[in-house]
Chain A
Amino acid sequence: MKLTTKQLTLCAVLTAMALALSYLENFFPLSLAIPIPGIKLGLANIVTVFALYALGPGQALLILIGRCLLGAVFAGNMNALIFSLLGGVTAMLVMIVLSRGKWLSVYGVSIGGAAAHNCGQVAAAVLTLGNTAPCYYLPILLGVSLFTGALTGLVAACLFRALAHTGLMRG
């Protein structure tokens, strides 16, 4: 993949934003309301949805992998890497497929991605623990993904509306 300086800079800025959002969501611990391991708002997915439409699947995937790797390094927890990678890549693949059709809005794509992210994370938990017990949480996680996915979609839609007048993404 060949990137121009502008594209590379944009990818770096979006990766940094995704990392910042991942850190920010620690201040809104959803697990206090719904005590399930790994449950969170998925704010970093806003960047993924935005990058998917604005830059295309290739660069969106680069940003995602960069965010997962750097997030694990900064947190000093390489065990968490398999969770974020498997969840993130599953969500990305589903969102690529859903966004291809053009008939879904950013909300539908985002909800599909959030649900896929939870499926990927439960799969990572099953692989890590060597036990199918984490599947017990999947129905609840899928239910919650309807709300977190809609929230991510709403923020992404606001972002696209705001940027439509700036011409920032042109070229």
Chain B
Amino acid sequence: MKSSPKLRPCLWDGLVVLLVVVLAAACALAVWSRGTGAGDLTAVVTVDGTEAERILLKNFPDGERTYSGNGYTLHVCLADSQGAKGPGLYVADADCPTQDCVHTGTISRAGQSIVCLPARIIIRLEGGTVDKDAPDMVIG
């Protein structure tokens, strides 16, 4: 044996846990609070690093769309806008081996994304936030 490890958790391990928690919180602040722009909720589809499509969710054609990348195909559907989460997108089926994109379920908030690593496809939601500078009401 090159070196004998301590086999019981000690106080110093708590420091590693604390560091990981702080790192996770810092990442969450940096990534999740990132502004995604005002306006209507828009789906931005990236295939193999390049933006393939940008569609307003309210204009999503026939409620479904198909995207292909790296030999795999994703069948994307518009989620029921009457649902508690509001309008969103989900991958109904895909022929990729991992099926993570299907298991991700519905995304309905700006900043959320569905990533399919085998197909190299990213579906990200942008906008959907209230424009603070916009007028509350227009009269006259």
Give residues in A with beta carbon < 8 Å to B.
31-32, 35-38, 53-56, 77, 79, 83, 98-99, 102-109, 111-112, 115, 125, 128-131, 133-139, 142-143, 145-146, 153, 156-157, 160-161, 169-170
**Contact call A111/B31, Cβ cutoff below 8 A:** no
With A104-B12, A105-B10, A108-B9 known as contacts, the answer to whether A129 contacts B113 (CB < 8 A) is no
Interface centre among B9, B13, B104 (most CB of A within 10 A): B13
Q: Which of B13, B48, B50 contacts A111 (CB 8 A)?
A: B13
**Contact call A53/B120, Cβ cutoff below 8 A:** no
**Contact call B1/A112, Cβ cutoff below 8 A:** no
**Contact call A53/B4, Cβ cutoff below 8 A:** yes
With A31-B103, A35-B105, A37-B116 known as contacts, the answer to whether A106 contacts B7 (CB < 8 A) is yes
Residue B68 CB within 8 A of the other chain = no
**Contact call B23/A142, Cβ cutoff below 8 A:** yes
Give the docked Cα–Cα distance between A142 and B30 (Å): 14
Give the docked Cα–Cα distance between A107 and B12 (Å): 10
Q: Mark B100-120, 1 if CB is under 8 A from A, else 0.
A: 110111000001110111101
A-B contact pairs, 23 of them (CB 8 A): A31-B103, A32-B103, A35-B104, A35-B105, A103-B12, A104-B13, A105-B6, A105-B9, A106-B6, A108-B9, A108-B12, A108-B16, A125-B115, A129-B115, A131-B46, A134-B115, A136-B32, A136-B112, A137-B115, A139-B28, A139-B32, A145-B20, A161-B7
Per DSSP, chain A at the interface is helix
**Contact call B27/A115, Cβ cutoff below 8 A:** no
**Contact call A35/B28, Cβ cutoff below 8 A:** no
| Chain B residues bordering chain A, tally (CB within 8 A) | 46
Chain A residue at minimal CB-CB distance from B117: A37
**Contact call B31/A98, Cβ cutoff below 8 A:** no
**Contact call A133/B46, Cβ cutoff below 8 A:** yes
Q: Which residues of B are found within 8 Å of A99, using beta-carbon distances?
A: 3, 5
Q: Which residues of A are found within 8 Å of B6, using beta-carbon distances?
A: 102, 104-106
With A53-B3, A130-B48 known as contacts, the answer to whether A37 contacts B115 (CB < 8 A) is yes
Residue B66 CB within 8 A of the other chain = no
Q: Which residues of B are found within 8 Å of A54, using beta-carbon distances?
A: 1-2
Q: Which residues of B are found within 8 Å of A170, using beta-carbon distances?
A: 1
With A129-B117, A143-B24 known as contacts, the answer to whether A105 contacts B13 (CB < 8 A) is yes
